[in-house]
Structure formats: structure tokens, C-alpha cells
Amino acid sequence: MLITLIRTILLYILVLIVMRLMGKREIGQLQPFELAISIMIADLASIPMSDTGIPISNGIIPILGLLVMHLLISLVNMKSIKAREIMCGKPSILVYRGKIDEKVLKKERFTINELQERLRGNGVINLGDVEYAILETSGQVTVIQKPNKRTTIPEDFNIEPDYEGIPYDLVVDGKIMLNNLKQIGRDLNWLNKQVEKFKIKPEEALIVTYDGKGQIFCQAKEKKN
């Protein structure tokens, strides 16, 4: 029982490391070769995990081999456009200039209802509002609406918004983010003074953020009974 637990922990750590080395894509954004490798890794890890009679190396070595394969394929894809097309395929235009391309739909085995579902997932209710709908190699659908249906932006009105930057987490669950404090050129004394305005101490804060406009957001932890 203990051996099984140890083997499970070791294989879990290995799979976690391998998946991290493979990159940060979400499952829905994996390319076909990445999805195939992910499935194979899960399968290879499960065999020695459940059967203690199989040497753990029988799972570790193939998993590391798949990682090497993934890195090599990724490198080739970066260097060669042709290889990228073979491995990942090319995007398909489902809607071109407002007209649904039935040939492409049939080729990709896409139904009208599925297309409408994907459009709704992109916040588009009416097919008539779509200028282009592109089926990406990851399986996601990118939607470009007609110009008169797109959401307006400040540039449309010749407005130049103020710079916002990115917000920095200064305290997360009571822990002070010292590196982020350095990034904004502040110190602990400054942080304490800012948090005191909310009548709490940094270690009592659930979250404290600092945005590009110099505004502080602070929320205290809920007090335990």
C-alpha cells in the first residue's frame, strides 16, 4: 500500500513537471500533437501507478521520451512553416464576408447549430452580425463582427485614455509580496500606512492591489468565530 502511494506521488510530480515544461496552454488550445502527447503521458503514468509489479522506470522513461519529442516538434514548428502546417493544420474560414462557406463546414464536419453555438460563446447572437468566423487549429472559433456591429472603442471618438498599466498584488491572503513592492518602488512602511487607512494590518488583508493610477484596493479577511 505504501509502495503504491509513493509510486503515485513520484509519477504525479513527474507528470506535473513535464506538463509545466510543455507550456501554459489551456486544454482547449492544445494543438493536435500536444493533445496526443498529453493523453499518452496520462496513460503511461497510470500503468505503473496501479500495478506495482511493473518497474516505475517503465513509466518514467517513456514519459521523458515524449517530453523530448514534444520539445523537438515544437522547435521544428518554430523553424518551419511547412512543418507547422503539417503538424497543426491551417485555420479554416467558416464565414467569409458575411456568408457561410458550406464546403468548409462539410470539410470540418461542422453543423450550422454548432457554428451558432460557437458564435454565442463569443458573445454574438445573430449570424447576420458576423463578417468572418475562423476555425483555428486549436479548435477554437475566432469571430470578427461587421464594422457597424463591433463594440466602439475610445479611438473611434478620437479619445486618448489615460495610461492604466497593470495592477500589482501587494498582499495576498495576508502575505506581503515584497518583489511587487520593489517593482513599484515602495517599501513596507509605505504599505503599512496605506493599509492602515482601511483600519487593518497587512497580515489581516485578504488582498491588497495597486494599479497604474496609484489607486489601492484592499479587502480584509473574514474574522473567524
| Per-residue pLDDT reduced to its tens digit, 170-187 | 999 999 999 999 999 999
The residues, ordered by sequence, that sit 6+ positions from 181 with a Cβ below 8 Å of its Cβ are: 170, 187, 188, 191
Per-residue pLDDT at 172: 95
pLDDT of 170: 95
> What is the Cα–Cα distance from 10 to 59, expressed in whole angstroms?
11
Grid coordinates in use for 36?
Answer: 496526443
195 grid coordinates: 493599509
Whole-model pTM: value is 0.63
Question: How many CB atoms sit inside 10 A of residue 86's CB?
Answer: 13
Q: Which helix (H) or strand (E) holds 219?
A: strand 216-220
Cell of 84: 507547422
Given this model, what pLDDT does residue 1 score? Answer: 62
Residue 23: its pLDDT value, please?
67
Per DSSP (E only), the strands in 38-84 are none
Q: Which CATH number fits domain 168-220: 4.10.520.10, 3.30.1180.20, 3.30.240.20, 3.50.50.60?
A: 3.30.240.20
Q: Write the CB contacts of 55 (distance below 8 Å, at least 6 apart in sequence).
A: 48
Whole-number pLDDT of residue 25: 60
Fold of 92-149: CRO Repressor (3.30.240)
How many degrees, rounded to 5, is the angle at CA 168 between CA 163 and CA 172? Answer: 155
Query: Which pLDDT belongs to residue 118?
Result: 92
Domain with CATH 3.30.240.20 in the chain: 92-149, 168-220
Q: Are strands 205-210 and 141-145 parallel, antiparallel or unpaired?
A: unpaired
Q: At what angle do helices 32-50 and 57-79 cross, to 10 degrees?
A: 170
Three cell numbers at 196? Answer: 492602515
Positions of E strands within 74-215? 92-96, 99-100, 130-135, 141-145, 168-172, 175-176, 205-210
- Mark the ranges of the chain whose per-residue pLDDT is less than 50: none
Dist. CA 47–CA 145, nearest whole Å: 48
Q: What is the pLDDT of residue 225?
A: 63
